[in-house]
Structure 1
Amino acid sequence: MKRITGTLCLFLAITAFVVGCESSNVSNPEITQPNTQASDSVKLTESEVKDTLTGLIPKAVDIYGIFNGNGAFKSDPKKTIPGEEDYCLVIGQNGTSPVDIDNVKSIADLKKVVEDVFTKDMAGELFYRRYLETEDIGLPLYKDYEGQLYVNTRNGGHGWAEKFLIDTAKLKEQKDHVVEIELDKTTMDFPPEKLTISIAYVNDKWLMASPLVQ
């Protein structure tokens, strides 16, 4: 009897061990099932592309305007950087626009505004290296001095001739978090021509990932 009981206990122990090992090798669907919510959430329909561009392109045009001469800001000609009289103190936004720059008081503030519309890489390529890091006639366009922002008033504006026909936008490709779009643009009175741009989904928002002017 003791031998039978001992054999039975040994059998049950081995069975429990085998079952436990098999259970540990079974995939837990809650852990292994891929979470597609993040990637699905950035897929755009053509209608959503147009809605996104309706909000984004006017802001992008404004960003170009901030660096296209000195007209984006009001400035005080009586307050200049010593020895650099072309640089006048920025005292607020000049007019109204889709981009609020009224509280921009430094280069850091300015970059925050730009990077709310363009990706950081594109902002550096289009604006920072050309207008903030270049030493030339009328450049850099903006400078910090004693904790305040100054604009080079020698650098006049050059106008903006392009119009972007958002209703013509067509989705060309979506890959990862980047969407490539084709739309028509006009320049002055010339016939429309095709323009391909990209937008990228960064930190839960869509940003321009390509130039508007090519």
Structure 2
Amino acid sequence: MASPSVTILFNNVMIFSAFCVTLVAVPVSSFQFQVGGEMGWIKPTGNESDTYFKWATENRFHVGDILYFKYQNDSVLVVNYTDYQNCVVSNPISKFEDGNTVLQIDRYGFFYFISGQPDHCKAGQKLVIRVMVQSEVESPTSAPSPKGGGDSGDYDAWDFNWGPPLNSTIKLSFASYFLTILGGVLLIFYVFM
């Protein structure tokens, strides 16, 4: 039979371990976004040149979230701002051609994506997302109108007025709080039983 001090030490280690697991579980909430929604990563047709711009402004992106690009006979290029603006496909940071590209966001800031087909990019198959710093709090606003007031679909990526958080990341935060409370209740139950 173990001595009382060993039993107390073991119990304390178990309690501390349960507490640490609960703390680690709280900030880990991510969401997988299918780029472009149900239509996926395709060349816009007609007057849809702002399709991906609109999609990006309707979502909030955080470090740890996942972008899923679904496409056929195309590619996804990660590029810098200048290559994004000019649809330059010759010098990508990364290139993906598998038709089911999954990218996990590993930092905050801006990310620029274009189609590997120059004519697709010029038709509007390009995307810029802004990954939020976890502590950023913004009040809900409406999406911006096109720069210059015309129907040209010409947007300046640095002038985004990001809309309200509409994705499930908020729901995951509530789930994290619930799991934290549940872990705390179980911890208290364990200590007093």
Could you say whether these structures have the same fold, taking a TM-score greater than 0.5 normalized by the shorter chain as the test?
no
Greater length-normalized contact order (CA 8 Å, ≥ 6 residues apart): 2
Q: TM-score normalised by the shorter chain: which range applies?
A: under 0.3
Q: Please report the TM-score for the alignment, with normalisation by the length of structure 2.
A: 0.27
More strand by share: 1
**TM-score for both structures, normalised by structure 1:** 0.25
Structure number with larger C-alpha Rg? 1
